[in-house]
Amino acid sequence: MIIDIVKVFLPSVLAFVCGILITPPLTNFLYKHKLWKKSSVKKTIDGKDAVISASLHQDEIKKTPRMGGIVVWGSTFITVSIIWLLAEFVGGETLVNLDFLSRSQTWIPLATLIMGALIGLIDDYLVTREEPEGSYVGGGLSLKKRLLVVVFMALLSALWFYFKLDVHTIGSLGGILPQINLGFLFIPFFIVVILSIYAGGVIDGIDGLSGGVFASMFAAYGGIAFYQQQYDLAAFCATVLGAILAFLWFNIPPARYYMSDTGMMGLTITLGVVAFMTDSLGSGYGIFVLPIIALPLVITVASNIIQIGSKKLRGKKVFLVAPLHHHFEAIGWPSYKVVMRYWVFSVICAILGITLALIG
């Protein structure tokens, strides 16, 4: 038990230290090459002037670089690599026991984190170029292309779960059924879940907001995995948590950098994968508690859907601006108050999700 606890907590500390150490050279590079958006959002999705959004963002004035997510996935990858290399080439019972890179638990989450991050990095680079006049997001990969990438990654992961890990069921919270057998429908279900979580990436809109929320969510799933004795997966979640905390150290207002797509694409997809890992593979309920643990993301996506639907059907808005966190800013809440209240809410959601997963 002691070695399992150390296996989980030590990588988290190591990832935090790595993140703190790589941030100064990274930020020097980002500022030197002016890797920030050159103008604020000018148009909404339906092509109308985004007056409120433009006033809230003001990217051309802030000159805050994107690509801060490199700290998260970079620190995670470095930590995993260091521990694996020590176990492989130095050896010894202690180091071997600390190694948490395993085919059954961490290959897929690590792969989706890195693959999503690299695609997001390409998008971030394109976004930081000069924007075409009147564009919505300015450069960058189109939404269609990003969704295709997410679907492709989700499909590969689903096929791995289905054929390699022989997973085709999900746990039934509350004991209604021992397992819900989806059969081949597990694959499209997996893709829909990943797409839904990815949509929640729009929460990355205020200094410190996404970092605190995702820290709570990965901490929750780390706790669930540990309870299920999936110690490698718990260590992975703890590593991501430590890396996010290092990012958050420099992202607290005024932010030194933004998470942006190189962080959000990897983290959202990986969160969905981890939820599936803590489901039938761990004889648990990771999928059923996902909407609770990720409720801040659910609410954020819902506010966008409600806003767009209301404008299409009623010709008027429900919120001053969407997503919801920007609505709170628009009605006069200071950004730090929005962020800290989201942090509190995300911790409560994480606690509730863990509780339900353990008693389910």
Residue 261 annotated in ligand binding: yes
Please give the Cα distance from 278 to 171 (Å, whole number): 9
- Residue listed under structure tokens 């564009």: 135
- Rounding to the nearest 10 degrees, give the CA dihedral for residues 282, 288, 292, 297: 100
Q: Which two tokens stand for residue 120?
A: 């997001």
CA distances from 225 to 15, 230, 277, 315, 316 (A): 19, 5, 8, 46, 45
Distances, alpha carbon 288 to alpha carbons 45, 157, 175, 292, 330, in Å: 31, 19, 12, 8, 34
Burial of 34 (0-12, 13-18, 19+ CB in 10 A): exposed
Binding residues: 261
Annotated binding site for Mg(2+): 261
